[in-house]
Amino acid sequence: MVSSKGQIRPFLEEIHNAAQHILLHAKKENIILVISHMDADGISGAGIIGVALSRLQIPFRIRVERWFDTKVVESIAVERKALTVLTDMGSGYLDIINEKVKGKPLIILDHHQPIGESEDNFIHVNPHVFGFDGARDISGAGIAYLIAKAISEENRDLAFLGVVGALGDMQDKNKERSLGGINQLIVEDAINSGKLETMTDLIFFWSRNTSNSQSFGVYNQSCYSRYKWRRR
């Protein structure tokens, strides 16, 4: 159950639309270029899409960038037949993308606040567009996982990477530091796939006061939800 005010059905319909677009290019055996952000969320998202494409046995490339800027946009613009998939980046540069990448096959899978308006010449999957909070309801890796799952149910075993991305972006902002929103669905898939266990544990915060040349530590204790990966 998704306890968020967002519109889950239209969001999942757009997920399905993006997945079908990827499958269409896969049938044509077009190269797919995946560009992602260099952090836990971005690398997890790129890994999810990469495994899903590998299982389709189609050619693809993965590139990880420190940030998204005009140079990245220009590199997309010179691609010929390749479909470009952006994970965990792109939504903040919609106006530039509209101008520079017209007519190029492009899918943006991002959870950051969009800046500008996306045009109909590319697919833009972003939770903010559907009323969700991209800072806590789902991460870039979470979106990538839902795309992979829509491509094939075989990819349910990648759900735990969606959880890694959400935790890497510190989206555990719900009761007892748990993941909420659409992330709940991804956690359930990760548990059902046998790759994740959850439990309630204790968290300790350390702080240091160095005033008057004296230092001491203070531990603050509270309950939190713990996510543990399972090896199989």
Q: What is the pLDDT of residues 9-60, one digit of tens each?
A: 999 999 999 999 999 999 998 899 999 999 999 999 999 999 999 999 999 9
Question: Percent of the chain at pLDDT above 70?
Answer: 85
Provide mean pLDDT across the span 160-185. Answer: 93
Domain that residue 42 falls in: 8-189
Same domain as 171, residue 64: yes
Task: Work out the angle at residue 11's Cα, subtended by the Cα atoms of residues 10 and 12, and round it to the nearest 5 degrees.
Answer: 90
Confidence of residue 4 (pLDDT cuts 50, 70, 90): low
Provide mean pLDDT across the span 95-118. Answer: 91
Same domain as 18, residue 125: yes
Q: What is the CATH number of the domain that holds 55?
A: 3.90.1640.30
Q: Are 136 and 37 in contact (CB under 8 A)?
A: no
Residue pointed to by tokens 């008057």: 212
Same domain as 154, residue 40: yes
Tell me the C-alpha distance between 41 and 183, whole Å. 13
Same domain as 66, residue 162: yes
Same domain as 147, residue 78: yes
Q: For residues 227 and 181, which has the higher predicted lDDT (pLDDT)?
A: 181
Tokens of 166: 């959400």
Write down the pLDDT at residue 18.
97
Tell me the C-alpha distance between 72 and 50, whole Å. 19
Tokens of 5: 């005010």
Same domain as 218, residue 141: no
Q: What three-state secondary structure class fits 154? A: helix
Q: Are 41 and 139 in contact (CB under 8 A)?
A: yes
Provide mean pLDDT across the span 202-213. Answer: 58
Tell me the C-alpha distance between 46 and 28, whole Å. 22
Tokens of 58: 């189609």
The answer to the question of residue 67 being in a domain is yes
Q: For residues 100 and 158, which has the higher predicted lDDT (pLDDT)?
A: 158
Helical H segments across 101-158, by residue range:
140-151
Same domain as 204, residue 157: no
Is 90 exceeded by the pLDDT of residue 232? Answer: no
Task: Work out the angle at residue 175's Cα, subtended by the Cα atoms of residues 197 and 230, and round it to the nearest 5 degrees.
Answer: 10
Same domain as 205, residue 154: no
Is 50 exceeded by the pLDDT of residue 96? Answer: yes
How many domains is the chain built from? 2
Q: For residues 118 and 110, which has the higher predicted lDDT (pLDDT)?
A: 110
Is 60 exceeded by the pLDDT of residue 210? Answer: no
Provide mean pLDDT across the span 177-195. Answer: 94
